[in-house]
Amino acid sequence: MIADETEKSRQLTIYGLMAEFAEPEALLEAARRSFGEGYRRMDAYSPFPIDGLAEAIGFHKTRLPLLVLIGGIIGCVGGFYLQYWVAVIDYPLNIGGRPLNSWPMFIPVTFELTILVAGLTAVLGLLALNGLPMPYHPVFNVERFQLATRNRFFLCIESVDPKFNQETTRRFLESLRPQGVYEVER
């Protein structure tokens, strides 16, 4: 029991184990096999988006479109109300008895503000959901990882995964025939 505890805490001193691949197809295959093996806390890193990679590690849906929709609705309603408030409540101008709530004239600004708020939500929401900016991340401790933005593909199984065990996980990763397996320091 005690030996088990120390083993687990020793394992947690590292962030995880990382395997390097030379081809996007190899990474995709490795990600699928790791998920099939029962690993859940892992991430794949690639220099360009690969179709189906996020799904392969068990990430299916992002909330981003919903956030953007909400942002767009806020921009639309807020934009129209801003003009309504200005033209009808705060600063009404009687121009030849024309209606104060001349809504067709408010459409262009309503539209622009819809796009503005939705667009801001899309970019800021992307950064927020991705947890960026992030000044420090353990994966950068691996020397070879700087190739992740050039031509190499990485799969990292994290030590917080319940199935993680330094020896068996290493053996499993090596069975995927990677270019190399590295320990990721915290």
Partner 1 sequence: MESEQFNKPSEIEAAAPVIEPGHTFASVTDKISAIVLTHRTPRFWYVGFGLSFMLVLVLLFGIAYLLTMGVGVWGIDIPVAWGFAIVNFVWWIGIGHAGTLISAILLLLRQKWRQSINRFAEAMTLFAVACAGLFPLLHLGRPWYAYWLFPYPSTMGIQPQFRSPLVWDVFAVSTYFTISLLFWYMGLIPDLATMRDQARRRFPRFAYGILAMGWRGSAIHWHRYEMAYLLMAGLATPLVVSVHTVVSFDFAVGLVPGWHSTIFPPYFVAGAIYSGFAMVLTLAIPLRKLYGLEDFITLRHLKNMGEVMLATGMIVAYGYLMETFMAWYSGNIYEQYLMWNRMFGPYWYMYWALILFNILVPQALWFRAVRTNVVALFVIAICVNIGMWLERYVIVVVSLSRDFLPSSWGMYSATVWDYAIFIGSIGLFVCLLFLFIRVLPMISIFEMRELVHETEEAK
What residue ranges bind partner 1 (CB under 8 A)? 24, 31, 43-50, 53-54, 56-57, 59, 62, 64-65, 68, 82-83, 86-87, 90-91, 93, 102, 105-106, 108-109, 111-113, 115-116, 118-120, 122-123, 125-127, 129-130, 132-137, 139-140, 145-151
Alpha helices in the chain (DSSP H): 2-12, 24-37, 53-56, 64-84, 107-130, 166-175
Q: How far is the CB of 135 from partner 1 (least distance, A)?
A: 6
Residue 59 or 168: the one with the smaller Cβ distance to partner 1 is: 59
Residue 133 preceded by cis peptide, ω within 30: yes
Q: CA angle, corner 144, sides to 14 and 168, nearest 5? A: 40
Determine the Cα–Cα distance for residues 95 and 114; give it in Å rounded to an integer.
Answer: 28
Residue 115 beta carbon to partner 1: minimum distance, rounded to whole angstroms: 5
Q: Closest distance between partner 1 and the C-beta of residue 5, in Å?
A: 31
